[in-house]
Amino acid sequence: MIVTDKKSSIVEQINELKKKRNAILLAHNYQIPEIQDIADVLGDSLALARAALNTQADVIVFCGVHFMAETAAILNPEKTVLLPDLEAGCSLADSITAEQLREWKKDHPDAVVVSYVNTSAEVKAESDYCCTSSNAVAIVNSIPEDQEILFLPDMFLGEFVKRETGRENIHIWLGECHVHAGIRPDQVADTFTNYDQADLLIHPECGCSTPSMYLKSEGILPKDKTHILSTGQMLDYSKKSNAEQFIVATEVGIIHQMEKQNPNKQFIAANPEAVCPFMKMITLEKVLNSLRNNTHVISVPEKTANKAKCAIDRMIAIG
C-alpha cells in the first residue's frame, strides 16, 4: 500500500500532467480503489466506450485491460491512447481468435456475428455487431427474428441473451471469463442463507447466472430480489434500491464504488476470491509513468480499425 504522503504526491503529479497534456483518465469499475478514486470517468465497458468517443481530450489514459484500450483507439485514431500496463489482458478475449471466428463463419455463411466487447480488434473486425452485458439483449432484439446469429465469446452471457430473447437460432461460442466462471450458484445460494433480506446482483458473465435464473423460477431464490445486471446497472440499482444489503456476484472491485456511493448499505461478495489479476495491474505509479513517458501507446492498423469501428458504432448506438 502506498504511504499517504507519497500517494498524494503521485496523484498531484498525475493531475498536473493531465492538465499539461489535455489528458483524460478512463477507468473500469474493477480497477483498484486508488485508480477508481482519481478517474475522470468510471464505468462499465459501454460507458467507457461512449466516454472515449465523446471526449475532447488529446490523450486517453485507459485504466482497464487491453481490449478496452484498443476500442478507445479505434474510436479515436487521431488521439493518443495509453495503457499503463501492457500485461493487462483478458482471459475471455483470449478465448477466441479472428482465425477461429472466420472458420466458424464458414460453417454459418448467412449468420450475423454479435461479439461481446471483450474481444480483440481483429475479432471485432470480423463481426457485424459488438455488444456489452448492458445492451446485448437489445442488440440481439434489433436483429430480425429469422436471422441466424453467432454470439461470442462468452457462453454465460450468450445463454442469458438466448433465454431473454427466446431465440433458438443463436449459436454460442464456448468461451468464459475465468473469474466470473468461478462464481458458482451454490456460493450465491449459501450467501443468501446468511443474508436472506439482501438483493442479489448477478453479472450475466457469471457461471451462476443461468442456474440462478432457474432457482429464481423455482422460487428457491426470491424473484423480487434476484437481478441480472451489468456492472453499471448494478451501481445504478444499488443507489436507487431501498434494500440495505446486497449480495454481489461479479468481480469484487466494484464493491469499492458501491460502498462509496452508499455508505449506509452493506455489500457482500458472493465469492470474495473473484478477483481479476489483469484488472489489478494498473497502479498510480504506472499511470504517472504512462503520462510522463507515453507508455504504452495502443494503436490498431487502419484496415482492421475501420472494419471494427462499424461493429462498435452499432454497439454504442443501441441500448
Q: Is 63 annotated as a binding residue?
A: no
Q: Say what angle helices 185-194 and 209-217 make with each other, to 10 degrees.
A: 60
Q: Is 214 annotated as a binding residue?
A: no
Q: Is 276 annotated as a binding residue?
A: yes
Neighbouring C-alpha atoms within 13 Å toward the C-beta of 261: 18
Q: Is 227 annotated as a binding residue?
A: no
84 with 59: CB under 8 angstroms? no
List % helix, strand, coil for the chain (3-state, nearest 5): 45, 15, 40
Residues 6+ apart with CB under 8 A from 93: 65, 66, 67, 118, 119, 120, 123, 153
Residue of 196, 149, 151 whose CA lies nearest to 175: 151
- Cell numbers standing for residue 206: 457469471
Q: Is 203 annotated as a binding residue?
A: yes
Q: Is 256 annotated as a binding residue?
A: no
Q: Is 133 annotated as a binding residue?
A: yes
Q: Is 177 annotated as a binding residue?
A: yes
Please return the burial class of 175, using the count of CB atoms within 10 Å of its CB with bins 0-12, 13-18 and 19+: buried
Q: Is 109 annotated as a binding residue?
A: no
- Cell 442469458 locates to 160
Q: Is 231 annotated as a binding residue?
A: yes
Return the SS3 of 226: strand
Q: Is 217 annotated as a binding residue?
A: no
- Cell 449480495 locates to 247
Detail the residues annotated as belonging to a binding site for iminosuccinate: 28, 45, 116-118, 133, 203-205, 231
Detail the residues annotated as belonging to a binding site for [4Fe-4S] cluster: 90, 177, 276
Detail the residues annotated as belonging to a binding site: 28, 45, 90, 116-118, 133, 177, 203-205, 231, 276
